[in-house]
Chains A and B, each alone.
Chain A
């Protein structure tokens, strides 16, 4: 059966009338006749030719056929055996309906439109249909041979997720399906072709000869052009405010080209607490702030009252109560002497000062509670007693932080560390200054040091003026130990061991006591301790905050939490906030050309359905282009026509020039 890539070109078939009209009209003489002199000639009206000779009818036929061939060439004809097979019932044509279920399909009526289009195509019973889409468990494929009821029920069960779903995953699965199917397959892709989902797509099905058909949905009347009508809450944070209140800071974005008034409402404790009227600038953002009693409500929800095209980003929920504080604990020998006690109290004050005291707090835990930081001042062989060593090892393996200061006897301390395989180093002796006026000082941090960026200007000067009167003079240390701080004679002052689990063991070669160093009394001490111990780890802070986006996962104690829908959740002892993906709120869609580029094709032919196009280079294997045959026929006909229509004696005499 002949099909046409450009069926509209068949209207050009009307041009066949041209040679017929030309032949119906009487021809006029147009041949030139060279004559010696026109002096005695009088111009006259040219009489029209009389009856046509049979040769004229042949010429007419040639010309009609020539026009027919040209029209057929323009219409891009190809022969397909598929339809004949369908009608004979040998092998039905196979269609795969690939449906985009990303979050952006929730807006602009895209999902309903996609379902409508799929249902329309499922009506074609001469085709073997299959469905390929994302669902919450991954990729869902309803294979060929499924009944129409199965297909429709699967389709009705599908719904767009809140995640960003890359079509590449579907294309990867599609590739596997095509590799198993030897027959030609037509793939319909139903998507809004939203830019964030499609911009990184790169696929090529040329080798399978698959016929791809793009069905843009949710584009409205202007296919393949960016959409409008979306406003979104793009950020919301709770920060402690004065007077026991919590301030809720919100950012709202407008994707339209016009300034738009919106109403922003705060819901807490089961009711609307506050409403703000904002005017969002064109393609810009506007900030808003709400205020609530900090301890009055557990959660709050901000709602954007706006009938926009994409409603999934109009709500943002927040946990109002601060997250639990991070814990630290001391492990020390049973009978503390005065210096041990002083160092412990000092470290306790330091740790409680590390956070902001409100949202990011550190607090001392009891001995049986899990902690983030373990402090062991005056570390020595006393840790061998009881379970302290085992606890320390478990703590480091679990990703915790531990800070050690040397305790007497130092040789036992060194031996304990080596035996426990925590730190392997050796030392010469305890280095002491002879004179109080001649202390050891910290060497300037090299540029490549991870903490050099923290200490610059005044804080660096304060650090380098630190006096160290006593410290353990190390001789050798393992390569897995990091030395972030040296004295001015290049002798290590701190050793750090980082564990694969994320745990960190920090060993100070000096104690935090006034007769050892004046470091604790300096402004640079707290930031130095935070940096050395990694107490300001942002990941840790985020982890503590537990704010994730749809599609992300949190794992704790072997259990995992998958963020499916935006909202507030409890997972173990964690309070989790799941935000919608902002990238899915973008109304921009890829242009048709960009989609074709990403699919390694170029548009070659139009499609009878509005908004549906084929890809070049994907001509099915059962399709045979007839272009070349018609071009060949047109060439032959043109030659014959030229020979027949060339001027000769039968139409008009020509001058005979005889060479003298």
Chain B
């Protein structure tokens, strides 16, 4: 594992574009599929002219200057839409005692990396996310400029309040373009049925839905303390408990929830993977690609 891709290092990089390139290249992901070069709109690179090749691709200006035949290659656009869904509710701002960054920051870095990789592959990248107070929707677009715009939007989001309301989810279901790969980054703590309802579009064969449940280590095992007065981050409920006493039952319930969530989402065609916010980012990306290959 490349330690440079651990969240503790990456969280110090504010520029999501740089961060995404670093993660993608460091983890050597994105190379599983070469970029389709051909009749695209966006210039990709020059290469030596191969005899028999269509002369339309020859750059005659370069030939005039260098007396050498050089072909221009273009990045061919795919028909795949890559849609990132990012949960920016208050619970995502949690950072446990042993975590170097919050769940949201981790999801933010993941989203940027995904967007970068997808753009490199010629996919159109879109974004949906935010919280109840502020919902952002960027329809999938290709190109570097679209990527940069999307990264700026992602970096501007601050986790707060409740999750995106049902109306916004309903609208999302109606605007998701066909042939979309949807990656959902959330802690998925709003309830199994709630999420199954939100992601019901995954039932369609046109969509591929991958859910990454980002949880802090303390959420899985509770923090180390004799007694705490817990206050819910997305509400005002309070509860006093001793983590030492309830750790076993808590972990059991948490595991049960994650399992039932996984089962329920799989019923609608979505795949769930639990990701800890202190986990190496490269490892997470590779896991994601493995999931995708597996799902394909």
Q: Which residues of A contact B (CB under 8 A)?
A: 28-47, 49, 652-653, 655-660
Contacts and interface: CB of A to CB of B under 8 A. Distances in A.
B226 A658 contact: no
B108 to A, nearest CB: 6
A46 B242 contact: yes
A258 B125 CA distance: 105
Given A36-B94, A658-B101, A660-B108, A43 B228 contact: no
A32 B231 contact: yes
A29 B227 contact: yes
Contacts of B155: 660
A658 to B, nearest CB: 5
Interface stretch (B24-32, B140-148, B174-182, B248-256): B248-256
B253 A34 contact: no
A34 B231 contact: yes
B234 A36 contact: yes
A37 B241 contact: no
Contacts of A32: 229, 231, 238
B237 to A, nearest CB: 6
B233 interface: yes
Given A35-B230, A657-B102, A660-B157, A40 B257 contact: yes
Nearest to B96: A656
Contact of B189 (A33, A36, A43, A46): A36
Nearest to B189: A37
Given A36-B234, A49-B226, 11 more contacts: A30-B229, A31-B229, A34-B233, A36-B216, A37-B91, A39-B257, A46-B240, A47-B242, A656-B97, A657-B95, A660-B108
A660 B94 contact: no
B48 interface: no
B239 interface: yes
A46 B225 CA distance: 11
Nearest to B105: A660
B227 A28 contact: yes
B132 interface: no
A655 B231 CA distance: 10
Q: Which 5 pairs show the lowest CB-CB distances between chains A and B?
A: A36-B91, A29-B227, A40-B253, A33-B228, A46-B227
B11 interface: yes
A41 B241 contact: yes
Contacts of A44: 240-242, 245-246
Contacts of A38: 230, 232, 237, 239
Given A42-B246, A660-B159, A47 B227 contact: yes
B158 interface: yes
25 contacts: A29-B226, A29-B229, A29-B240, A31-B229, A33-B229, A33-B230, A36-B187, A36-B216, A36-B232, A36-B233, A36-B234, A37-B219, A38-B230, A39-B189, A39-B253, A42-B249, A42-B250, A44-B240, A652-B225, A652-B228, A655-B94, A658-B105, A660-B105, A660-B158, A660-B159
Interface residues on B, range: 35 or more
A49 B244 CA distance: 13
A44 B248 CA distance: 13
Nearest to A649: B97
Interface string B235-273: 001111110111001100110010000000000000000
Contact of A658 (B11, B242, B249): B11
B121 to A, nearest CB: 26
Interface in B7-52: 11
A47 B228 CA distance: 10
A35 B250 CA distance: 13
Contacts of B228: 29, 31, 33, 652-653
A37 to B, nearest CB: 4
Interface in B199-245: 216, 219, 223, 225-234, 237-242, 244-245
Contacts of B227: 28-29, 46-47, 652
A653 B101 CA distance: 16
B142 to A, nearest CB: 26
A46 to B, nearest CB: 4
Contacts of B108: 660
Given A660-B104, A660-B105, A660-B158, A41 B229 contact: no
B93 interface: yes
B14 to A, nearest CB: 10
Given A44-B246, A653-B97, A658-B101, A33 B231 contact: yes
Contact of B230 (A28, A41, A45, A49): A41
Contacts of B103: 36
B94 A35 contact: yes
Given A31-B229, A657-B102, A36 B219 contact: yes
A33 B218 CA distance: 12
Contacts of B94: 34-36, 655
Nearest to B215: A36
Interface in B151-206: 155, 157-159, 187, 189
Contacts of B93: 657-658, 660
Nearest to B89: A36
Contacts of B253: 39-40
Nearest to A32: B231
Contact of B232 (A35, A657, A658): A35
A35 B231 contact: yes
Nearest to B154: A660
Contacts of A33: 223, 225, 228-231
A401 to B, nearest CB: 105
Contacts of A656: 95-97
Nearest to A28: B227
User: In the complex, which of the residues A36, A44, A46 has the most CB atoms of chain B within 10 Å of its own CB atom?
Assistant: A36
A658 B102 contact: yes
B83 to A, nearest CB: 21
Contacts of A46: 227, 240-242
B226 A35 contact: no
B251 to A, nearest CB: 9
Interface in B80-106: 91-97, 101-105
Contact of B225 (A28, A42, A45, A653): A653
B236 to A, nearest CB: 11
Contacts of B101: 658
User: In the complex, which of the residues B105, B228, B244, B249 has the most CB atoms of chain A within 10 Å of its own CB atom?
Assistant: B228
